[in-house]
Amino acid sequence: MEIASDLVDRQGPIYREDTAVFVSQSGETADTLQALQYALENGALCVGITNTVGSAIARNTHLPNLSFNACTLCKNICRALSFTGIHESNCCHSHGCPSNCR
């Protein structure tokens, strides 16, 4: 897992066999769009998860946009990150999820 701005800054390795997943509530986050473009240029399969149907990320990824309302999106991001070792409660607190999402 890599933060979008770090991936672009250091030109991290992305290969044709890779799948890159881009998560953005708005689907218009500049760093994430730059990382998406970088992944596309390197031939990766790109998947977008956003809160906005028709956003730039939704339009430019290979698979149909996975769109959720803000609360569901937050829960799913936190759950997905928990598989990488980030505890769900830390994720929700650090990213400012509404209290009714927890």
CA-to-CA separations, 6 to 12, 28, 47, 69, 99, in angstroms, rounded: 8, 17, 19, 27, 29
Among 98, 99, 1, CA closest to 51 = 98
pTM (predicted TM-score): 0.68
More confident residue, 79 or 96: 79
* Residue 57 contacts residue 34 (beta carbons within 8 Å): no
Chain segment 16-74, per-residue pLDDT in tens = 999 898 888 888 999 999 999 999 999 999 988 887 888 999 899 987 666 666 666 66
* Residue 78 contacts residue 91 (beta carbons within 8 Å): yes
**CA 47, chain centre distance (Å):** 8
Q: Which of 21-25, 56-60, 77-81, 96-100 has the highest mean pLDDT?
A: 56-60
